[in-house]
Structures are given as structure tokens and as C-alpha cells.
Amino acid sequence: MKIVVSPAKSLDFETNVPTQRFTQADFLAQSERIQNTLKKKSAKSLSKLMTISESLGQLNYERNQAWHLPFDLKNARQA
């Protein structure tokens, strides 16, 4: 499986969403396996792995640590 990820520059959890309807992503089991691996990595190793700045590596580290199932309107947003 090949995955292309384009992280958001910012995630807005403050603004009310226009709808309460949402779907669950496909491949959640595979996503959880990947996240469990990423959660074990340091911010510095994520920066190197993703070829990104240390500040983005730190941001992605924090996002990885916060990632959990099930998704709902409190911990995830519609695309």
C-alpha cells in the first residue's frame, strides 16, 4: 500500500461545523497501525523521516500523539 499524506498547515477545532453529518474514513485499521508506529517516533525522527523542519516535526509529533479512534466532531473534522 502506498500512502500520500499532505498535512494541514492548521487545524481549526474552534469554529462550529456547518453540519453534524460525517463519514468514517476507509482503511481505519491500517491507519491505526501506521499511527501506532508513528507514535513511537520522536519529533526529531519524524522531521528526518518526512524531510520537514523541526518545528513541523514537533507539530506532527503532537498530532500523532493526539490521534485516536473513534473519530467524532470533538477530535476530527470533515475534509
Single out the residue of 79, 61, 65 nearest to residue 22, CA to CA. Answer: 79
The model's pTM is: 0.73
How high is the mean pLDDT of the chain?
87
- At 7, the pLDDT band (50, 70, 90 cuts) reads low
Indicate the burial class of 57 (C-beta count within 10 angstroms; 0-12, 13-18, 19 or more).
buried
* All cell numbers assigned to 35: 499511527
Report, as an integer, the average pLDDT of 61-72.
92
pLDDT single digits (tens) 20-43: 888 888 999 999 999 999 999 999
Question: Structural domain boundaries of the chain?
Answer: 28-66
Question: Is residue 75's pLDDT more than 80?
Answer: yes
- DSSP letter string over 10-42? ----SSPPS-S---PPTTHHHHHHHHHHHTTS-
**What pLDDT, on the 0 to 100 scale, is given for residue 6?**
66
